[in-house]
Structures are given as structure tokens and as C-alpha cells.
Chains A and B, each alone.
Chain A
């Protein structure tokens, strides 16, 4: 067993070092820069809406990837953080009049606290056990919220969900009549998340997480404290996920347990990272760019006649990816482009 695993890891290291790091940041800057210009060129509201959804899912998936992709654990319970964050900011706004900008930071800290509470005992569980625990934790939160109308005076309103009262164009209330401000907000959030992932990847935290993914026991033997680093990354990931949940609540001005805490959103976040390429900076963005248009097209062109069609496609894509591109589409794509650019460079 051991003799077999060693060559594979060496190959792993070779692959990551042979992948040129600078082009990926270049790609990120170019993609985000071009996206920033889009609202100036296109005014079609459905198009902008679809772009916002792509960016939103790319953001959520990047947040998921921040811990799960790098440490190699599959969490299918991340919606408990987006749900907690979203409910926190909406309730602070409707009950106390706190601006959602401040509320979402509170929601982020609440989710980070929750993640430490759950992560500390569960992160040492291996593989499927961790996944099942996370599903169970998220389900506990969802079932509880779905069936609680009033929690010590806090109106959670159960399965009905919470509506954010309309305030018109109000920056302070995080509400805009046009979709374009939302577009820029989520674009900036995504850029920050990608930048944070990039920073983390080259920091001590990133190297430790990768070491833990490679071999937890060996990492521990080298003096890395797995609990400390995974919990830290988990808390950051939960914080980012919660901000995404708040954005979602403000964008739709509505939040309910099924959509914001359900298993489906968790699976979406994970599937996009996995198909794009987990453990890479741009993988989640690529995954969202591939999958979300499918969902939007299925919803937009076929209407409600084919419920669940996009999820069938997600499932098929996931199966194909696990079988043929286990490291995500970004790796073959990256190799292709680096060859392409390599040619160009020699010519120039």
C-alpha cells in the first residue's frame, strides 16, 4: 500500500508545480475585468440576472472550495452557514433596523462560530462519515427552522420564510431597483473570495491544508496541527458562505429554509467545485460558468414543463466528471491553454 501511494503523490506535486501559477491569476483578472464591463454593453435584464446567478454560484462554490477543496473533505452541509447568515441579516434588518451591510457581517461571524462548534468534533471524521455528519447538521437546522414560527420572540416564520420589506432604491438597506448594483456587489464579492483563496493557497495555511489532504497522519507527524488549520479554514469558508446567503436574501428579498438551508444548494456548491476543479483557485468559477447557464436555460426556455431537468444534467455531469476528469475540467483545460500560450510565446 505505502509503496504504491508514494509515486502518486510525487506525480501530484509535479503537476501542481508544472502548472504555471501566474497565468491563472492573469485569467482571473481578465475574466473579472471583462465581466465588469458587461453591464455597459448589454442591458438585457434576463441576461444580467443570469450573470448574477453565475457569479453567485461561483462565489458560493469558491467559499465551499476554500476548505473542502483544499483539505479534501466533502461537506454537503454548507447551506447551514448560508442559511444562518441570511436569516441573521434579514432578522437584524426587519426586527432592529440594522443595515444588511452590517447584518451580513454579524451573520458571517455567527456562521463562523457555528462552524467552529461543528467543525472541532467532526473534522477528524474521515470521508463519508464527515459528509453524513454535515448533512445531518444542516438537516437539523433546516427542520428546526422550518417548524419554528417563533423562537423566544424572534419571528422565524417556519417554512413560510421571511420577506425583506421593499425600501426602493436604498443603498443603506442593500436594496436597488436595478439589477446592476447587485451585479457589481456579487462581482466584487467573488473577486475578493478568489483573491482570498489565492492568498490562502500560497500561505502557510494553504500548504498545511494540502499536507493534511495528502496524508493527515503524516502531516501531524511533521508538527502540523490538523484541527487548528482545518477549523480556521472552515471558519473562513463559513464566513464567506454566510455573506453569500445574505446577498441571496437581499437579491430576492426573500429567504426560506428549503432554498437557503436545503440539501440542494449544498450539492450545487459542491458539484460546481468538483466539476470545475476542487482545490484550484479558478475551478469553482469554471464549474459555475459551465453549470449555471444550463440551469438558467432549462428554466428560461422550457419553463416549468421540465421540473428538475437541470439537476438531471448536473447529476450526469457529476458522474461523467468523477469517472473521466476526477480532478475537474480545469486541469485538461489548463494544460491545453498553457500549450497554446507556450506556442504563442515562442513565436513572439
Chain B
């Protein structure tokens, strides 16, 4: 194997993996705090990709600038979904179950609605954003680096760092962590648990708003794109440990590099099967993931 091709594959895998990690951050945060596996995670990403696409296509807004609208829009959507749909369920089941399966069903319902509503509204066509300017690939040590992906990967690391810093230092962040540790004790200390849940869900979706904007520059957009990213996010989050923020980025990078390097030796499909098999094996043998607490 040519060293140049291999190092190119590793760089590409690193960048793509960083983006996978960034996309999975919201899933991990929501699971860590609400103990809800958000089956509709990929659908929210799909939606935010479409927001950026339509802002560009109708108003000619630059995809990077559209993040300014995309993030608050996705935050509000997530906040509303949690407050209106999932919250009644959690209230009903709070005393009985820790990891409610019905919440998974509920988000599966949201996934069905969002994906197919997008299919109805936008049709099955694949769309792409074309920026008016050309973003050249950077040359780092003789290896060409796709600048859009570099921006995405760097953003993922920054968001992850900012999120853990904010969770550690801010008042709301502390409330979120307290709620994640013990819902009842947090409620008794005067934390508004339903509000914290809704904010957490909102942040999880808001992060997707950012990545929808960043990824719309290099990803072909279609209504069915959500599921593949959703499944990939599950893999990343399980690998890194459900609920762990640094684990999320590391899990993303492991999967990205694994797929990029593996597809140099075997077909890309075998690499995809490999990462799914890895996912199953980790769930069976080490459900807490690489970085998660056992």
C-alpha cells in the first residue's frame, strides 16, 4: 500500500470522523441527560441540511452564514419537540423506568413523520448547495486537505470543548449535569427539570443546526440522508460511551479513520459492514463504550 494514499485516507478519515463526532454530540448529550435514545436524530440533521439549502436556494444566503438562522431554528424545534411530545411521557413514566423504551418508540414516530414529510414536501431528488466562491483544498505536508471538511472537523472539536466547558461552569450547565446524575434530587434542589430537559434537547438539535449548515457545502442532500447519519451517530456514541462528550469525538474519529483505511484494503461496503459489526460487538462486550463509565 502506497504510503501517500494511506496517509491521505487517514487524513480524510480524521476529518470525516471529526464531523461524525460533531453530529453525534447531540445524541450523546440527550441520552446522557434524558436517558432517551433519540431515533429521530438523523431526521433532525436532514431537516437542518434542508434549512441551509433552502436559505441558499431562495434567498441566496451563504451556507456558512445560514448557521445564524439554522442554529436557533433547530434549537427551538428541539425545545418544542421535547416540551410538547416527549415530556408528557417522561412525566408519566418517570418513577418506573430509567431508560424508557416508549421514548424510543416516540422518537421513532417522529423519525417516520419527519423523513416522510420531507419526502412529500421536497421529493426524492438529491440537491446540492453550490457556493459562489471556490474553496481550494489546502496542502498540508504534501497531502491535499478538503477545506470544507476541515472546517467541519475543527468546528466539532470546538463545539465539544465549548459544550463541556459550559456544562462545567455555567449555572444552567450545572443544572443539566445535576439532572443527569439524579433527576429526583435535582428536582428537590429547586431545578426545573422539564425546562432543563427541553433546553438539553434544544441544544442537542441546535448543534445539528450548526453541522447542517457546515455540511450542506459538501453533502448531497436528500430526504433519506438522515437515517444513515442517524445510524452512524449511534455507532459513534456507543463506541465512545453513551453520554460522554469527549468519547463522542474520539468515537467519531475511530469510526472515520477505520472506514477510510479499511476501504483502502477492502470494498467500501465491507468497511461499512465492519463498522456495524464493531458496533454490535461493543454493545455485547462493552456496553459502556471506550470512554464511558461502566
Q: Interface on A for B, CB 8 Å cutoff?
A: 1, 4-5, 8, 72, 74, 76, 121-122, 125-129, 131-133, 135-137, 139-140, 143-144, 146-147, 263, 267, 274, 306-309, 311-312, 314-319, 322-323, 326
Residues of chain A within 8 A of B235, CB atoms compared: 136
Does B96 contact A128, Cβ atoms closer than 8 Å? no
A312, B110: Cβ atoms closer than 8 Å: no
A307, B120: Cβ atoms under 8 Å? yes
Beta-carbon nearest neighbor of A137 in chain B: B280
Question: Which B residues touch A139, using CB under 8 A?
Answer: 231, 276
Residues A267 and B108 in contact in the complex (CB < 8 Å), given A126-B99, A144-B273, A322-B102 = yes
User: Which of A4, A122, A307, A317 has most chain B Cβ within 10 Å?
Assistant: A307
B272 at the interface (CB under 8 A from A): yes
Chain B residues lying within 8 Å of A308, measured Cβ to Cβ, are 115-117, 119-120, 223
How many whole Å from B85's CB to the nearest CB in chain A? 7
Query: Which B residues between 225 and 272 are near A, CB-CB below 8 angstroms?
Result: 227, 231, 234-235, 238, 267, 269, 272
Given A121-B284, A128-B37, A318-B109, A5 contacting B96 (CB threshold 8 A)? yes
Best-surrounded residue of A129, A136, A311 (most CB of chain B within 10 A) = A136
- B234 near A122 with CB under 8 A, answer no
Where chain A touches its partner, the secondary structure class is helix
Q: Which residues of A contact B140 (CB under 8 A)?
A: none
A318 touches B105 (CB 8 A): yes
Q: Nearest Cβ distance between residue B163 and chain A, in whole angstroms?
A: 22
Contact A315 B112 (CB under 8 A): yes
Residues of A within 8 A of B187 (CB): none
Interface of B is mostly: helix
- Nearest CB in chain A: distance from B116 CB, A: 3
Q: Is the CB of B101 within 8 A of A128?
A: yes
Q: Which residues of B contact A127 (CB under 8 A)?
A: 99-101, 104
> Chain A residues with Cβ under 8 A from B112's Cβ?
267, 311-312, 314-315, 318
The answer on a CB contact under 8 Å between A140 and B96 is no
* CB neighbours of B117 from chain A (8 A): 308, 312
| Contact between chains at A8 and B105 (CB < 8 Å) | no
Interface membership of B60, Cβ < 8 A: no
Q: How far is the CA of A120 from the CA of B287 in the complex (A)?
A: 16
B124: Cβ under 8 A from any A Cβ = yes
- Pair B105/A129 contact, Cβ less than 8 Å: no
Within the complex, what minimum Cβ distance (angstroms) separates A277 from chain B?
14
- Residues from chain A with a CB closer than 8 A to the CB of B287 are 125, 129
Q: Give the number of chain B interface residues (Cβ < 8 Å).
A: 44
Q: A318-B105, A322-B106 are in contact. Are A132 and B37 (CB under 8 A)?
A: yes
Task: Given contacts A8-B96, A125-B287, A319-B106, list 9 more A-B pairs with CB under 8 A.
Answer: A74-B105, A122-B283, A122-B284, A125-B283, A132-B37, A136-B231, A136-B280, A147-B267, A323-B89
Please name all residues of chain B whose beta carbon is closer than 8 Å to the beta carbon of A131 when the two chains form the complex.
Answer: 37, 101, 104
Query: A129, B120: Cβ atoms under 8 Å?
Result: no
**CA of A139 to CA of B280 in the docked complex: distance in angstroms?**
11
Cα–Cα, bound, A318→B107 (Å): 10
6 closest Cβ contacts across the A-B interface?
Answer: A315-B112, A308-B116, A318-B109, A315-B113, A319-B109, A308-B119
The answer to whether A315 and B280 touch across the interface, beta carbons within 8 angstroms, is: no
Q: How far is the CA of A129 from the CA of B279 in the complex (A)?
A: 11
CA distance A74 to B99 in the complex (A): 13
Q: How far is the CA of A326 from the CA of B111 in the complex (A)?
A: 18
Instruction: Say yes or no: is B277 at the interface (Cβ < 8 Å to chain A).
Output: yes
Distance from B237 Cβ to chain A, minimum over Cβ atoms (Å):
10
Asked if B284 contacts A136 (CB within 8 A), the reply is: no
Residues facing A in B274-291 (CB within 8 A) are 276-277, 279-280, 283-284, 287
Partner of A274, one of B89, B105, B115: B105
Best-buried of B231, B235, B276, B287 by chain A (most CB within 10 Å): B276
Q: List 27 A-B contacts (CB under 8 A).
A: A74-B105, A122-B280, A122-B283, A125-B287, A126-B99, A127-B99, A132-B37, A132-B234, A132-B283, A135-B234, A140-B276, A144-B273, A267-B108, A307-B123, A308-B115, A308-B120, A308-B223, A315-B111, A315-B112, A318-B108, A319-B85, A319-B106, A319-B113, A322-B105, A323-B88, A323-B89, A323-B106
Q: List A contacts of B1 (CB < 8 A).
A: none
Least distance between B119 CB and chain A CB atoms (Å): 4
Among B102, B111, B269, point to the contact of A144 (Cβ < 8 A).
Answer: B269
Docked CA distance A315–B279 (Å): 27
**Nearest CB on B from A234, distance (A):** 16
Complex-state Cα separation, A274 to B101, whole angstroms: 12
Find the residue from A5, A307, A308, A316 having the highest chain B CB count within 10 A: A308
Asked if B95 CB lies within 8 Å of chain A CBs, one says yes
Q: Which of B102, B111, B114, B283 makes the CB contact (< 8 A) with A129? A: B283
Residues of B within 8 A of A318 (CB): 105-106, 108-109, 112
CA of A326 to CA of B280, assembled, Å: 29
Q: Which residues of A lie under 8 Å from residue B234 when comparing CB positions?
A: 132, 135
Residues of chain B within 8 A of A72, CB atoms compared: 101
In the complex with contacts A143-B276, A147-B269, A323-B88, A312-B113 CB distance below 8 A:
yes
CA distance A76 to B105 in the complex (A): 11
Q: How close is A7's CB to chain B, nearest CB, in angstroms?
A: 11
Contacts of A5 in B (CB 8 A): 96
Q: Is the CB of B284 within 8 A of A143?
A: no
Looking at the assembled complex, report how far the CB atom of B149 sits from the nearest CB atom of chain A, in whole angstroms.
24
Q: What residues of A have a CB within 8 angstroms of the CB of B223 in the complex?
A: 308
- The answer to whether B273 and A143 touch across the interface, beta carbons within 8 angstroms, is yes
In Å, the complex CA distance between A322 and B86 comes to 10
Shortest CB-to-CB span from A298 to chain B, Å, is 10
Please determine whether B109 and A316 come into contact, CB atoms closer than 8 angstroms.
yes
- Please measure, in the bound complex, the distance between the C-alpha atom of A285 and the C-alpha atom of B41, giving whole angstroms: 31
CA distance A131 to B100 in the complex (A): 12
CA distance A126 to B96 in the complex (A): 15
In Å, the complex CA distance between A323 and B81 comes to 13
